[in-house]
Structure formats: C-alpha cells, structure tokens
Amino acid sequence: MSLAPPAKSTILVVDDIPDNLHLLTRELTDHGYETRAVLTGEMALTVAQSAAIDLILLDIMLPDMDGYAVCQALKENSATQDIPVIFVSALDDPFDKVKAFDVGGVDYLSKPVKMVEVIARINTQLSLRHAQQKLQLFNQNLEALVQQRTQELAQTNQALQAEIQVRQRAEQDLRLSEARYRLIANHMGDLVCLHNQDGDFLYISPSVQSLLGYRPDELQGKRLQDFCHPDDLPCLQLHFQESFQRAESITSAYRLRNQAGGYVWIETLAKAIMDEGEPITGIVTSSRDVTRRVNVERKLRYEALHDALTHLPNRDWLAKRLEMEILQCRRQLGRQFGLLMLDLDRFKAVNDSLGHLIGDKLLIAVAERLRATVRKVDMLSRWGGDEFIIFVEQVNHIDELVQVAEAINQALESPMEVDGKIIFTTASIGVLLGGANYGTSNEIFRDVDIALYRAKEQGRNRYEIFGLEMYQEALSLLTLENELREAIKNEAFVVYYQPIIDIKTRTLIGFEALTRWQHPLRGLIMPGGFIDLAEDSGLIKPIGKQILYQVCHTIAEWERLGYLEAWLQISINVSGQQFRDHNFIETLDHILIETGVKGTRLKLEITERILLEQSDSIARTLDAIHQRGITLSIDDFGTGYSSLRYLSQFSVETLKIDRSFVMQLQPGKSGIVQAIIDLAHNLEMDCIAEGVETEDQLHQLQRLGCEAAQGYLFAKPMPPDQAVQYLQSAPPTLETLLSQLS
Ligand code: C2E
Ligand code: CA
Ligand code: CA
C-alpha cells in the first residue's frame, strides 16, 4: 500500500490578507496542487462543505471569526470533520498551540512561511490523511468481511442444527418403528421369516409355534427346504429362485412338515430384500396355514371336472382335453383323434320301471365295464344322463375306432346284476374320426351326436360313423325345425280326412284325421316329412294341440250344418309325448268345452308303446279319457313290442291292423292278420284294417271277420270341403234309414 498522497489534492487557503493568499496559492499551484482561496472564516466553512477539499491552511486571525472557531466548526460538521487543518500564524500573533490542537488542528506554521516547510507539512498531513483514509477503508472492508463470514457461519450452524434435529428425529422414528415391527411380528398369526439365498432361516417369528409346532430356536440354522413336502420341493425352489430375481412379491403354496410329522398347506408371500443399488441380500416371507382352503379348492376343482355319480371326468374336462387336442392337431400334420359317444338303449325304461336308484347303480356298473375296455391314455367321460364319451388319442385309421365300438358292444353283451336284478343293456354308439378340420370342441360334440342319433334311429345296439352327409342332413333338419316353429306360429297345418268304412254294410262309420303341413315354398308336406322331427324336437305337443282344436272345430261345424250323423266317429292320432303330458287331459277338456264337441265323437289313436310304459300317470290318463266317453284304438298294431298282458289290462276298443300286414294278405294266406283279428275278438275289441287297396284284400278281411277298413280302395285322405261332399253323397246307412222311419 502506498502512503503517497494523490497527485492532485485540493488545498483550501484561508487568509484575510490578499497578498499572502495570492503568494501561497501561486506557490502551491506551482507545486502541483489545486487551490481554493478565501478571505473569511464563513467562506472557508462554505467552501469546505461544498467542494472536495483535501487540506486547509487556516489563518488564525480572520476578520469575521478566529481560526480556532473556524476549525471547531469544521470538526463539528460530519462532512468536513476529517479534513486536516494546518494553522498559519504570524510571529507576532498570539497563537495558542494547545488550543489549536484542542480544536482539531493537526499542525501549525508560522509566518513568514518557508515554502519548503509548507509543502513538507502539507505532504505529511495529506499522506497521513490518505493513509488514514485507506486504513479506514481497509477497516471498513475487513469489518464487512467479518460480518459476512460471521453471518455465513451462523447460517451454516443453523443448517447443521436443523440437520442434527432431523437425524435425531429419524433415529427416534426408526427405533419406534423397529419396535413396532417386532411387536407385530411377534404377535402376528402369520409366520414371518427372513432367509438368505440358500433358504437358511435368519429370523423366525414366534407364530411358528402355533403354525407348525416348533419353537423359533429349533429352526435356527435349518433351511426351509428341510421341512418341505418332497412333491412340493421343485415348486418351492422355483419360488425362491424367482423371488431372488424379481422386485415384486411372489405368492406360492406348498406343504410344510409340522412337529407332529403331518403336513400343513402353507401359502407364502416372498419378497426380496433390496436396498437401492445393493444386491439382494435375503428374502422375507410371510406365510399362513391354508390347508382348509386348499382342501375346499381341491374338492371344488375335483367336482368341477368330475361326474359325481361315476367319478369319471365330466363334459367340461373332456371339452378342455379336446380343445388341447385341436391345438395338437393343428401343430402336428396328419394327427387324428377319435370320439365315441354312446347312449344306453332303453335306459329310461329301467329308470321308470326299477327306479332311479337302480338306474344310478346301472350307470356305475356300465362305467366300470367301459373303463375296462378303454386304454389308459384314452379318456372315458360321462356326458350326462345315460351318455358316455370315449376320447381316443392318436388314431391312424377309422378301423381302430370300430374296434373300440365293437369292444364296447361286446362288453355290454353279458347282463348286469344290479341289486340282485339282472338287467340287459345295449348301447348305440356314434363314432367320429377328427383332426385339424375341427375348430372347437362344440363342433366335435355336434357331429358325434349326429352319428349317435343316426345309430339310434337305425335300430339301436349298433354304431354309426360320422360322415359329412350326416352333417348336411342334420343341418337341413335344423332348418326344417325352425320352419316348423314358424308353422306353429302361423297355424300352417291342415287336416285331411280319410273315410273309415264298415266292411259288412259298406257304409261310412267315421274318418281318420291326418295332418299335412302347408309349407310356404314346398307346398303340402306329408306327415312322414315332419312328424318324426316334431317328436324329436318336442314340437309335437303344440302341433298336436292345434290339430286337436282344428278337428274339434271342424266336427262342431259339421254338426251345426247337420252333416255329421250321431254315430260317426273321428279318429285322431295322438303321439306318445302328447299323451304323457300332464296337461293333456286339461287341454282336451278345454277344447271340448270351447267347441262343444262330445267326447263320444272322438277316438284317439295311440301306439302300443304308451301302454307298455305301465306308469300310474298313463293309467290315470286312460281312465280320464274313458270317463269322457272317448274311445281308444291301438295304431299300427303288431309292428311294435306287442304284449298280450297290457292289452288285457287296459280297456281299448279297437286294434288297427297295420298296412304292412294287410299288404301281405294273399288268397288262402291270411297269416298274421288272422291272428290279430282273433286276438282282438278274444279281448272283445274290434279291428280296423289300414291301407286296403284292393277288393281281394277287402274280401279276405271280411272273411276273417274284420269289422272295418280304410284305404285307397274307398278314398284317399281329403280336405274338409271334399269330406263334406263325401258325407253328403255317401249312401244312407241302416241307422239313417231307421232313424228316418221312426
Ligand atoms: P297312420 O296313423 O298309420 O295313418 C295312416 C297312413 O296311411 C296315412 O298316411 C294315410 O294317408 C295312409 N294310407 C291310408 N290308406 C292308404 C292306402 O290305401 N295305401 C297307402 N299306401 N297309404 C294309405 P299319412 O297321412 O301320410 O300319415 C302318416 C302317419 O303320420 C300316420 O300314420 C300317423 O302315424 C302320422 N300322423 C298323421 N297325422 C298325425 C297327427 O295329427 N298327429 C300325429 N301324432 N301323427 C299323425
Ligand atoms: Ca292312425
Ligand atoms: Ca297306422
């Protein structure tokens, strides 16, 4: 730091003598100073305040005030107090040095002044002042720095204090939460453990005692694997491995051996212990006893996939297996599989006659037999009711399936003994060879069902192999079924009437009502084209009801117009399903009341099979029918399972001899027709021969004592308006003549 004064300092010279002033200022200017010169004390004070003055040379003796007063005034003003003042006194002036220093002067000079001295004194004072100023500045800076540092230190200190507080609080929290966790772990029902990578127990919560019976210290140093059920070991190991590789928790279930030596199903949630960026150091597991739940689940799963009666796989399981097989077939070129769907023939009869209990036992026995004929790799399942399905894996040729079908038929050949009863069963089987051509299990079931249906239709106790043409037939049958539903809605059925003739008198005794379907596109469809379908689909009931209503309505109309003699009877065909319907009698009554037709006007044609069922409800229906004066015929007699016993049991008025027997009649060869007529007469029934086409047949029937006949020989079935004409043109009967006479 240089103490030399700045080059251009400004000196204020105060002197009341202008010559002095002039001399001094010139000298000073020559020495490089700026100067200001004033004559009075007042002016000196004014200039010192307003201009930047570095030093004042002050005369003691001034006109307005003395130099002491001026100096004192300068020192009292903060703007001027730092300006060094050098007093200048004449030798003869009374100069008080002490006073000069007291009022703030820094030096003094005596007149006449030596310029060298003046300059030296001025320089000294200026340097001093300059040094003072610098020191002051330095001090100021230092103070500012110290203040700043002190402030910074205080801030740092404050931050540190805050951090310490946070840490202390965190530490406290940590201690608290650890204590809480320990409390939870110690009192939790779940078992909480800590394991290292090898499965060693590092920590075991006390709940292990209630869960597995061990004390925690007994497990120290052991591994989880040591307690796992051998079957579940792979699952456990996988679980551990995965837990070490993933951040999420993973659940799994396995069995652990308890202290008693039994096994407990445990569900465990495992989570790897991971500190950010650190490698996984261990696994925390939380486990609970889920034995009950697992058992329930297993039971449910078993029930979901098994048939409760036979314990065979059920249709859901089979469907799943088939879906898998479909995928296999798509992957493996040429791969084929087989399906055999079998249905016990006449199982319903067993159920109806021997009861459901025996029926169930029979199903179990059949399942056993089937199981013995099926390979281990194949799957025997129960489809429901009396239907079973066998899935055959990897089939090369249809012959292999035929062999299975034949083996099944053979296996069922010998009778079953159920509860001491001997039961013969046979089965109809649908066979299907499938492959990549199938997309869903439902398609497979649909097709094998078509084949089964065909087997049943073809006469049971046989198998049929599914072919594409069957599918197409089934498809068109389906269309027909839908059209049939439409037909019911639109009441598109018409009834034709075929005369029935008394053979002896050759007069009309009644009509048989025969239904036709007025199809919008295909015209009139004969019963052969839709009755079977109507029966299979259950649509025969609404159709039968419509027909019954229509026929009664026609009868009422004919009666009202006087066309119908009192003894004429109208025969109506009633299907088994209709007859078995619990509402049948109710429907019948309703129609009779609404149309006003008397029961005696009607004759119902039923098949033998209905009577064979021998159920109480059938007996009740038969009773109810007789109570209403309605008579019964047995249609197509001799074509079914004729049994003499049922014929004598129920009161049936008429047997209808099927056309197939009438056709067999030859001169001199009456065959079965004779037997039927004799049987009917023995049971006090009369006979109507169907399908009489020739005079020869008629003669022979007359000779055999047959009472009545219908057939093309007399008339074909005809629509109602023609039947009316027929009624009107028919020759009067004996009864008519007699009634006209009386
Ligand atoms: P079905 O009860 O045996 O009726 C006699 C069938 O033989 C009628 O055939 C009739 O037209 C035909 N027929 C009559 N005389 C002769 C003949 O001299 N020669 C030949 N070749 N045939 C003759 P349709 O009308 O085709 O009826 C067929 C079957 O449909 C009926 O057989 C009956 O079982 C059933 N059916 C008809 N209408 C109904 C009905 O309304 N309800 C029920 N459930 N079945 C009906
Ligand atoms: Ca008939
Ligand atoms: Ca018939």
Decide which of 646 and 351 is more confident: 351
Q: Cα separation of 655 and 638, whole Å?
A: 9
Q: What does the pLDDT average to over 403-423?
A: 91
Q: Does residue 550's CB lie within 6 angstroms of at least one atom of ligand 1?
A: no
79 Cα distance to chain centroid = 94
Q: Cα separation of 99 and 567, whole Å?
A: 175
- Over residues 688-706, the pLDDT tens digits come to 999 999 999 999 999 999 9
pLDDT of residue 162: 94
Q: Cα separation of 455 and 433, whole Å?
A: 16
> Atom 3 of ligand 1 has which residue's CA nearest to it?
636
Mutate to test the pocket of ligand 1, among 690, 697, 714 (most ligand atoms within 8 A of CB): 690
Percent of the chain, pLDDT > 70? Answer: 96
> For residue 619, which amino acid is it?
A
- Over residues 13-60, the pLDDT tens digits come to 999 889 888 988 999 999 899 999 999 999 999 999 998 999 999 998
Q: Does residue 531's CB lie within 6 angstroms of at least one atom of ligand 1?
A: yes
pLDDT of residue 574: 97
| Closest ligand 1 atom to Cα of 514 | 38
* Reported confidence tier of residue 91, pLDDT bands at 50, 70, 90: low
Radius of gyration of the chain (CA): 64
Q: What does the pLDDT average to over 113-117?
A: 87
> Atom 25 of ligand 1 has which residue's CA nearest to it?
514
Q: What does the pLDDT average to over 538-554?
A: 96
pLDDT of residue 659: 94
**Ligand 3 centroid distance, CA of 104 (Å):** 159
Instruction: Provide the edge-to-edge strand list for the sheet that holds 263-273.
Output: 201-204, 191-195, 282-289, 263-273, 250-257
Q: Which of 132-146, 362-376, 470-484 has the lowest mean pLDDT?
A: 470-484
**Ligand 3 centroid distance, CA of 663 (Å):** 13
> For residue 655, which amino acid is it?
L
> Atom 19 of ligand 1 has which residue's CA nearest to it?
691
> Residue 732, SS3?
coil
Please list all protein residues whose beta carbon sits less than 5 angstroms from ligand 2, which is an ion.
573, 605, 635
Give the number of whichever ligand sits closest to the CA of residue 656.
3
Q: Does residue 691's CB lie within 6 angstroms of at least one atom of ligand 1?
A: yes
pLDDT of residue 677: 94
pLDDT of residue 617: 86
- Over residues 480-536, the pLDDT tens digits come to 999 999 999 999 999 999 999 999 999 999 999 999 999 999 999 999 999 999 998
Average pLDDT, the chain: 90
Q: Which residues contact 686 (CB under 8 A, 6 or more apart)?
A: 653, 654, 655, 680, 707, 708
* Reported confidence tier of residue 670, pLDDT bands at 50, 70, 90: confident
Q: Is the pLDDT of residue 441 over 50?
A: yes
* Bridge partners, 10 (sequence order): 34
**C-alpha dist (Å) from residue 333 to 326, 330, 397, 433, 441:** 12, 7, 15, 15, 19
* Reported confidence tier of residue 2, pLDDT bands at 50, 70, 90: very low
* Reported confidence tier of residue 424, pLDDT bands at 50, 70, 90: confident
| Closest ligand 1 atom to Cα of 516 | 38
* Reported confidence tier of residue 735, pLDDT bands at 50, 70, 90: low
pLDDT of residue 738: 66
> Residue 337, SS3?
strand
Mutate to test the pocket of ligand 1, among 494, 498, 514 (most ligand atoms within 8 A of CB): 514
> Atom 7 of ligand 1 has which residue's CA nearest to it?
691
> Atom 23 of ligand 1 has which residue's CA nearest to it?
691
What are the backbone angles phi and psi of residue 112, rounded to the nearest 5°? Answer: -70, 140
- Over residues 286-342, the pLDDT tens digits come to 899 999 999 999 899 999 999 999 999 999 999 999 999 999 999 999 999 999 999
**Ligand 2 centroid distance, CA of 688 (Å):** 10
pLDDT of residue 183: 77
Q: Does residue 690's CB lie within 6 angstroms of at least one atom of ligand 1?
A: yes
HEC string for 85-110:
EEEEEECCCCCCHHHHHHCCCCEEEE
Element holding 197 (H helix, E strand) = none
Q: Does residue 547's CB lie within 6 angstroms of at least one atom of ligand 1?
A: yes
| Closest ligand 1 atom to Cα of 575 | 44
Phi-psi region of 463 (alpha: psi -120 to 50; beta: other; left: phi over 0): beta
**Ligand 3 centroid distance, CA of 540 (Å):** 17
| Closest ligand 1 atom to Cα of 578 | 44
Q: What does the pLDDT average to over 396-411?
A: 93
Element holding 580 (H helix, E strand) = helix 576-580
**Ligand 3 centroid distance, CA of 450 (Å):** 28
Cα angle, residue 207 at apex, residues 204 and 210 outer, rounded to 5°: 130
* pTM for this predicted structure: 0.51
Q: What does the pLDDT average to over 428-446?
A: 94
Q: Is the pLDDT of residue 1 over 50?
A: no
**Ligand 2 centroid distance, CA of 690 (Å):** 8
Give the number of whichever ligand sits closest to the CA of residue 639.
3
Burial group, residue 210, by CB count within 10 angstroms (0-12, 13-18, 19+): exposed
Q: Cα separation of 712 and 697, whole Å?
A: 12
**Ligand 1 centroid distance, CA of 418 (Å):** 42
Strands 282-289 and 427-434, by their bridges, are: unpaired
* Reported confidence tier of residue 458, pLDDT bands at 50, 70, 90: confident
Q: Does residue 524's CB lie within 6 angstroms of at least one atom of ligand 1?
A: no
Give the number of whichever ligand sits closest to the CA of residue 545.
1
pLDDT of residue 671: 80
DSSP for 47-83, written as a single string? HHHHS--SEEEEES--SSS-HHHHHHHHHHSTTTTTS
Q: Which residues contact 478 (CB under 8 A, 6 or more apart)?
A: none
**Ligand 1 centroid distance, CA of 514 (Å):** 6
Decide which of 182 and 124 is more confident: 124
Element holding 466 (H helix, E strand) = none
- Over residues 576-635, the pLDDT tens digits come to 999 999 999 999 999 999 999 999 999 999 988 888 777 788 889 999 999 999 999 999
Q: Cα separation of 680 and 182, whole Å?
A: 98
Mutate to test the pocket of ligand 1, among 573, 659, 713 (most ligand atoms within 8 A of CB): 573
> Atom 22 of ligand 1 has which residue's CA nearest to it?
691
Q: Around Cβ 494, how many Cβ atoms within 10 Å?
A: 15
Q: Does residue 575's CB lie within 6 angstroms of at least one atom of ligand 1?
A: yes
Q: Does residue 430's CB lie within 6 angstroms of at least one atom of ligand 1?
A: no
Q: What does the pLDDT average to over 364-375?
A: 93
* Reported confidence tier of residue 3, pLDDT bands at 50, 70, 90: very low
| Contact status, residue 2 vs residue 126, Cβ threshold 8 Å | no
